[in-house]
Amino acid sequence: MSIRSETDQGSSISAGFSPPRATLSHETVPYLVSSTDALVILLASVFGAVFYHWISDTPVPDLDAYFALGLIASFIHIARQGGQGYYDFERVATPGVEIVPVLICWFSTALLLAFFAFLFKIGVSFSRGSFLVFIVVAPAGLLLGRRLQKQLVQIAVARGAIGRRDMVLIGDQTELTALQGQDLLAIVGAGEVNRFPLVEADDPILRQSGDFKTLKLVANFVRDNNPSEILLAVPWKDTARIDFLREQVKLLPLSVRLLPDSQIRTLTNYASSARQRVLSIEIQRAPLSMTERFVKRFVDLVLAVIALVLFLPIMSLAGLAIKLDGPGPVIFRQNRKGFNGRQFVMFKFRTMTVQENGDTVTQAARNDPRVTNIGKLLRASSIDELPQLVNVLRGEMSLIGPRPHALAHDNYFERVLEDYAFRHHVKPGMTGWAQVHGLRGATPTIDLISRRVKMDLWYINNWSLWLDIQIVLKTFFEVLRKRNAY
């Protein structure tokens, strides 16, 4: 058994716990904390100049240079701390001020500032006394600010002012009961998350059946609410259940973490020397990180807008030619599956006399009599795919990704190929790694679709912006070659 995207849409998610909606998203916390640090460093720089010249009874210099010094120092400090996860919501929400990391980062920042001042001979613009006061006052302000930030965030989370509703917690009843708000705050930086309790049963068959029903609810919830992570709270000694859960959730395009059970939490006392404040095991990585998704989406939007402007005359002529060629709509619409199995309507220029979009869809074949006269030209040149730029702008597709198939084909391929559903871990694309390697067009045999799936999975596991650029360039030459274009 495995989680499929055809789970019952009418299922209730009463198993999930839904606390009151927070007034402030947890995603804003890193920006607020980093901005506070920047303000502390800027004020410390100005204070150093004013204080030193006041106690030395010398005229206060022009403060513009010290403002610039504070801005540069805050940029370096925040960039380094941000790269180490210092501003992650989990770290801000957990107790305990990171004294040593803050001091190490700050004094190494001060050394960099001194080095650049010497290298570019700009040290004469600053008083050494003011610089020393700045170096001493800034870390004190950063540590004090960090303590205050943590206290305010913990109070806000406890009162429900800050919420983290982008996590799903699946767990054993006993473990869920033991995970109170303060425990979750220490582990994942959240006072409460969406809970889905697993069934309690001694019979292995009944327990697995109940777990599978719960996981169907989770699959529905994930598809409808787009959370960022799945957390598993199961006794670590129950390896059979952990293996079963891991096997089921692997089809969901999310990061999955196994949380410490009650015994482990007692032993570790919520301590960890790693970046994460609490020991937990990442048993599944998300296909793309948040940063990678942002970069890919930004590139999609920019290139899609440019492409629409460039190809608008061609698309207008194509639409007119379809209209003059015979009766029927200019745009062909067909339901497809996108990211995480969500359905969307994909657009193409109509190239056939039929418009199949049901349980039976016959793939196009070479010399297919259903293809119209103008349709042959549009399909050979791939102009029929250009309306999908609108799908890209709407966020339903990406420029690069696994090509989406008709629902009838998707449902069949999922039954015969175990790894097929992994293609839905990223958005479908107008072109992809498989297409630039000749696997374009119809897939009449299982061997062909299996080869395409292997190519798609390789792309998902090895994604990079440079890889997308290569595929765009190769697509141009693939269109000119017209392989399997019919």
- In this prediction, residue 272 has a pLDDT band, given cuts at 50, 70 and 90, of very low
- The pairing of strands 343-349 and 331-337 is antiparallel
Residue 17's pLDDT is: 40
- The pairing of strands 398-400 and 429-431 is parallel
Q: What is the pLDDT of residues 33-85, one digit of tens each?
A: 888 999 999 999 889 888 888 888 888 777 887 888 888 888 888 888 877 77
- In this prediction, residue 271 has a pLDDT band, given cuts at 50, 70 and 90, of very low
- Is residue 205 one of the residues assigned to a domain? yes
Question: Domain boundary residue among 159, 187, 204?
Answer: 159
Is the pLDDT confidence value at 236 over 60? yes
Answer yes or no: do 263 and 298 share one domain: no
Among 300, 452, 474, smallest CA distance to 388 is for 300
- Is residue 325 one of the residues assigned to a domain? yes
| Beta bridge partners of residue 349, listed in sequence order | 331
Answer yes or no: do 102 and 195 share one domain: no
Residue 14's pLDDT is: 39
User: Contact 112/165 with Cβ under 8 angstroms?
Assistant: no
* Cα separation values, 433 from 14, 346, 445, 455, 467, Å: 41, 20, 19, 6, 9
Give me Rg for the CA atoms of the chain.
28
Structure tokens at 297: 């989406």
Answer yes or no: do 346 and 379 share one domain: yes
CATH of the domain at 193: 3.40.50
Least confident window among 181-185, 194-198, 366-370: 181-185
User: Contact 365/442 with Cβ under 8 angstroms?
Assistant: yes
Q: What is the pLDDT of residues 197-220, one digit of tens each?
A: 998 888 888 888 888 899 889 888
According to the per-residue pLDDT averaged within each range, which of 59-73, 365-379, 381-395 is highest? 381-395
Among 37, 27, 86, 473, smallest CA distance to 294 is for 27
Least confident window among 14-28, 31-45, 78-92, 179-193: 14-28
Question: Domain boundary residue among 264, 286, 308?
Answer: 286
- In this prediction, residue 394 has a pLDDT band, given cuts at 50, 70 and 90, of very high
Residue 306's pLDDT is: 94
Greater pLDDT, 15 or 165: 165
Residue 362's pLDDT is: 73
Residue 279's pLDDT is: 63
- Is residue 64 one of the residues assigned to a domain? yes
Is the pLDDT confidence value at 9 over 50? no
Answer yes or no: do 54 and 197 share one domain: no
Residue 194 burial by Cβ neighbours in a 10 Å radius (0-12, 13-18, 19+) = buried
Q: In what order do the strands lie in the sheet with 194-197?
A: 194-197, 167-171, 229-233, 255-258, 281-284
Answer yes or no: do 316 and 264 share one domain: no
- Is residue 177 one of the residues assigned to a domain? yes
- Is residue 10 one of the residues assigned to a domain? no
Average pLDDT over residues 343-354: 91
C-alpha angle 365/409/299, rounded to 5°? 90
Residue 479's pLDDT is: 84
Q: What is the pLDDT of residues 405-434, one digit of tens each?
A: 888 888 888 878 877 878 888 899 999 999
* Cα separation values, 139 from 32, 41, 120, 262, Å: 18, 8, 25, 37
Residue 183's pLDDT is: 66
Answer yes or no: do 182 and 136 share one domain: no
Nearest 5°: phi and psi at 410? -55, -50
Residue 366 burial by Cβ neighbours in a 10 Å radius (0-12, 13-18, 19+) = exposed
Q: Which domain holds residue 75?
A: 27-159
- Is residue 1 one of the residues assigned to a domain? no
Answer yes or no: do 110 and 173 share one domain: no
Answer yes or no: do 222 and 109 share one domain: no
Is the pLDDT confidence value at 275 over 60? no
- Is residue 241 one of the residues assigned to a domain? yes
Q: What is the pLDDT of residues 326-347, one digit of tens each?
A: 888 999 999 998 888 888 999 9
Greater pLDDT, 331 or 273: 331
- In this prediction, residue 25 has a pLDDT band, given cuts at 50, 70 and 90, of low
Q: Give the global pTM.
A: 0.59
Question: Domain boundary residue among 230, 258, 286?
Answer: 286
- Is residue 46 one of the residues assigned to a domain? yes
Rounded (10°) CA dihedral 479, 472, 226, 255: 120
Answer yes or no: do 149 and 173 share one domain: no
* Overall number of domains in the chain: 3
Is the pLDDT confidence value at 280 over 90? no
According to the per-residue pLDDT averaged within each range, which of 63-77, 111-125, 301-315, 458-472 is highest? 301-315
| Beta bridge partners of residue 162, listed in sequence order | 24
At 46, is the secondary structure helix, strand, or coil?
helix
Residue 189's pLDDT is: 58
Answer yes or no: do 138 and 176 share one domain: no
Answer yes or no: do 305 and 439 share one domain: yes
Answer yes or no: do 332 and 252 share one domain: no
- In this prediction, residue 256 has a pLDDT band, given cuts at 50, 70 and 90, of confident
Is the pLDDT confidence value at 446 over 70? yes
Percent of the chain with pLDDT over 90: 21
